Structures are given as structure tokens and as C-alpha cells.
Amino acid sequence: MRILLAHPGASWSTADVESGLRYGLKYHGVQIVPYRLDERIQVSHKFLYAMWRQKKKDRPDLTKPNDADIMYQAGIGALEMALRHQVDVVLIVSSMLFHPDIIVMMKRAGLRVTVLFTESPYDHEKEMRIARDVDGCWTCERSVLPAFQQVNAHAGYLPHAWNPEQHTAAVKADDANYPSHDVVFVGTGFRERVALFNAIDWTGIDLGLYGSWKGCGLKRSVPLAGESITNARASALYRRAKIGLNLYRTSKGWGKRALSIAYAESLSPRAYELAACGAFHLSDVRTEVREVFGSLVPTFQTPTEAAALMRVWLADAEGRKRVAAQLPACVAEASWITRAKTVIGDLQTLLTQRAA
């Protein structure tokens, strides 16, 4: 099987999904034709704005390029690449930055197009519109699967996963180069997370907070350790921390006025990654947390509960060690190697039915 695998365009968590899926598919012998949408977006942005600045000297009323122009310019090459390599199927990760007109043209050209939706349920409405136009799709949030199945007969649930290349409990040689925090969190400063960190008294706790947090309203008393980091660095931080935090996003977008989702129950990528790294961690409540980890991952619903759990477990080194040793087994069958088997099976079914 030959697949054109389209990068999501973003350079953070969705990019980790693409790299993990690519690893799993290659592991099973799938030929991958990569389409680096992230790099093409950067090039398209520079090119279109350079041309606009040059041409507006003679045409002052020339319309400035917008995001849709950039997305189209960056993604249209996927159509040519898929046809040139005669791929069996196009698999787009996320699709939030992939211009929908290109999907329509791929279908007109006779290509099989599928999407792995990574932003459920936060961008559910947009994902649903795309799901109607593709041959098959997967969502990472099981509670919205019935809605997808109403518009696409080949919709499935594909949980997140961990990457065997990055997320292991075994200590690596360069782990010692990274800080060892009491509590560590790697993520983005959505308003509900900002509220939680601002509400906790961090006195006496060495917090390692990494990710995109500038301008989010974080109090100065909350220490910010660093900007966005690689998966390899995050894994090292998880292994070295006494406690990892897994905070589920509820905001649909950015800012203090962002709307909130009504409901979600699936594990985030961070849940799998922390466990695969053998990192003791705390989490806010999601249905799958208890289903997958039982009582091994203590949960909280308020900042007060979170602060109390952190101080209790920071004082119990042996308890943390005992729990951490059991976590990798909980997600042993949830790597991208396993998830890729599901994707391959679903694609084989789709292609067989299409041929018939």
C-alpha cells in the first residue's frame, strides 16, 4: 500500500500525531509519500506576501493575501504529488489547515481521500463538514463518533497513542541534561489551564511549566520554565519529574471569552505519553482515565483538589515509584504501531469496497 501522508501544518501536538502515525505505518511496511504542509505554508506565506508587496506598487488597490490564499497555495501540490506517485490513498492528518477545495479536486481526480481528525470535539463543526466530502475518516474523541457515522459510513474511532521512538520508561543518556522538577506540565495556555495555575499556591513546589503561555494572563507568581519544546525533551522532563500533570482542554478557541465544549471522554496524547514514559502523574477527570488507568492516575476537579494531591504525593516517593512502575503496562497496546494496524485494516476495507 502506498499512502500520501499530509502533515497537519502545525508544528506542535498535531505534528506529533503525524510523526507517530508515519512511524507506525512504516513499521508495517506501508510506503509513505510525505507531504510537508508545515514547510509549504511557510514558503507560501513568504512568496505570496513578497509578490503582493511588489505588485501593489503599481496596483495600490491590490488585495492583500489572506489565510485561505496561503492554505490553498501550500496544499495544492498534494494533488499533483498524489497523482504523480499513483498513491492508493491520501491520508490527511487534522485537515484544519488543508484547504477543502483541494479535497474536492482530489475526489474529482479519482483519488481516495481520508482524514484523521485530531481536533475533536473542539472543531467538531468544521470536521463534520470535511467528513462529508472524504471517503473515510477517524476521530480521536469517541463521544462524537456517532455524529461522524451519520455523514460518513467509513468513520471510525482512533484513540491517540505514544511513539516508541520517543516515549519510553528507560532512562536515556541525555536525560541528565534536563531539569528535574517537582511538577511538570507541557502544553498550551488555554484559559481553563491559566485559571488552574493561577489559583494554586506554588510556594515550596518547583513547577516546570513549558509551552505557549505568553500573553495568556498567567500571574507572575506562576513560574514559566520555557517555550514550546520537542517530544524528546518533553519525554526527558516527564521521566525526571516527581509528578507530571495532564490537563484536558475544554476551550474551543483562544482567549478569555472562548466557548467551552459540552462534553468529552477520550484520553489526550499526553495521557499515553506520560504513562509510556513511566511518569507518575495527576489528571483532571475524563471517562477514559479511569477505564485505562483505574486508580493509578489520581484525578481532580478543582484547583484545591489538585494542590492537595500534589502535596500528598510529593511527600510519598515510594508510593510514586510503585505506581509509576505499573503505568507502561496500561498503555502497552496503545502505541502508534498498534494504531497503525487499525488504520491499515480500515484502508484495506475501504479500498476493497471501492474496487468492488
Each residue's pLDDT, cut to its tens digit, for the chain (356 residues) gives: 999 999 999 877 788 999 999 999 999 999 999 999 999 999 999 999 999 999 888 888 888 999 999 999 999 999 999 999 999 999 999 999 999 999 999 999 999 999 999 999 999 999 999 999 999 999 999 999 999 999 999 999 999 999 999 899 988 888 888 899 999 999 988 999 999 999 999 999 999 999 888 878 888 778 776 676 777 889 999 999 999 999 999 998 877 788 889 999 999 999 999 999 999 999 999 999 999 999 999 999 999 999 999 999 999 999 999 999 999 999 999 999 999 999 999 999 999 987 76
Q: Which of these, 89, 83, 156, lies nearest to 351 by C-alpha position? A: 89
Q: What is the pTM of this model?
A: 0.93
Q: Tell me what pLDDT residue 56 has.
A: 85
Label residue 168 exposed, middle or buried (CB < 10 Å: 0-12, 13-18, 19+): middle
pLDDT at residue 48 in the model: 92
Helix, coil or strand: residue 243:
strand
Query: Starting at the edge strand that comes first in sequence, how are the strands of the sheet with 243-246 ordered?
Result: 207-212, 183-188, 243-246, 281-284, 299-300
Domains of the chain: 2-160+335-355 (3.40.50.2000), 173-330 (3.40.50.2000)
pLDDT at 356: 66
With a CB cutoff of 8 Å and minimum separation 6, the contacts of 350 are: 89, 112, 114, 135, 136, 154
In 3D space, the residue among 164, 152, 1, 13 whose CA is nearest the CA of residue 91 turns out to be 1
* Distance, CA of 221 to CA of 19 (rounded, Å): 36
SS3 category, 354: helix
Q: Which among 232, 82, 14 is positioned nearest to 22, based on CA atoms?
A: 14
Identify the pLDDT of residue 332. 97
Q: Taking the CB of residue 57, how many other CB atoms lie within 10 A of it?
A: 8
Q: Is 36 helix (H, G, I), strand (E, B) or coil?
A: coil
